Amino acid sequence: MNTQQTDRVVQALNSFRIELPSWGFSNTGTRFGKYLQAAAALTIEEKFSDAQQVHRLTGVCPTLALHVLWDLPNGVDDVDGIAALAARHGVQPGSINPNLFEEQIYKFGSFGNPDASVRQHALQHAKDSVRIARRLNSRDIVLWFADGSNYPGTANVRRRKQWFEENLRTLHADVDSHQRLLVEYKPFEPAFYHTDIADWGMALSFARSAGPRARVLVDTGHHYQSQKPEQIAAWLLAEDMLGGFHLNDRRYADDDLTLGSIDPYQVFRIFHEILFFEWESGARADIAYMIDQSHNLKGKIEAMIQTVMHAQELYAKAALVDYPGLASAQARCQLVDAESALRDAFSTDVRPIIEEWRRAKQLPADPLDAFRQSGYLERITTERRGRMSVTSSYA
160 binds Mn ion (CB under 5 A): no
Least distance (Å) between residue 143 CB and Mn ion: 10
246 binds ligand RM4 (CB under 6 A): yes
Q: Could you tell me which stretch among 120-128, 173-181, 249-257, 311-319 binds Mn ion (CB under 5 A)?
A: 249-257
Site for Mn ion in 279-318 (CB under 5 A): 292
Least distance (Å) between residue 149 CB and ligand RM4: 17
213 binds ligand RM4 (CB under 6 A): no
* Interface pick for ligand RM4 out of 50, 71, 219, 249 (rule CB under 6 A): 219
CA distance 251 to 98: 27
* Identity of the residue, 100 or 354, whose beta carbon is nearer to ligand RM4 in the bound complex: 100
Residues near 191 by beta carbon (within 8 Å), at least 6 away in sequence: 146, 147, 148, 149, 150
322 binds ligand RM4 (CB under 6 A): no
CA distance 216 to 185: 8
219 binds Mn ion (CB under 5 A): yes
Least distance (Å) between residue 133 CB and ligand RM4: 15
Q: What is the 3-state secondary structure (H, E, C) of 323-359?
A: HHHHHHHHHCCCHHHHHHHHHHHHHCCCHHHHHHHHH
184 binds ligand RM4 (CB under 6 A): yes
Q: Could you tell me which stretch among 88-96, 166-174, 215-223, 376-384 binds Mn ion (CB under 5 A)?
A: 215-223
CA distance 217 to 39: 31
Sequence-ordered strand ranges (E) for 114-172: 140-143, 148-149
Counting every residue written for the chain, the total comes to 395
Three-state DSSP at 231 gives helix
Residues near 120 by beta carbon (within 8 Å), at least 6 away in sequence: none
* Interface pick for ligand RM4 out of 254, 273, 313, 322 (rule CB under 6 A): 254
Residues contacting ligand RM4: total by CB under 6 A: 10
CA distance 289 to 215: 14
CA distance 254 to 270: 18
* Interface pick for ligand RM4 out of 71, 292, 313, 322 (rule CB under 6 A): 292
* Interface pick for ligand RM4 out of 144, 145, 164, 289 (rule CB under 6 A): 144
249 binds ligand RM4 (CB under 6 A): no
Element containing residue 93 per DSSP (H, E) = strand 92-97
| Residue 27 interacts with which of ligand RM4, Mn ion, none, CB < 5 to 8 Å by class | none
Sequence-ordered strand ranges (E) for 190-293: 194-195, 214-219, 242-247, 288-291
* Identity of the residue, 8 or 222, whose beta carbon is nearer to ligand RM4 in the bound complex: 222
Positions touching ligand RM4 (CB under 6 A) are 23, 97, 144, 184, 186, 219, 246, 254, 292, 394
Positions touching Mn ion (CB under 5 A) are 219, 246, 254, 292
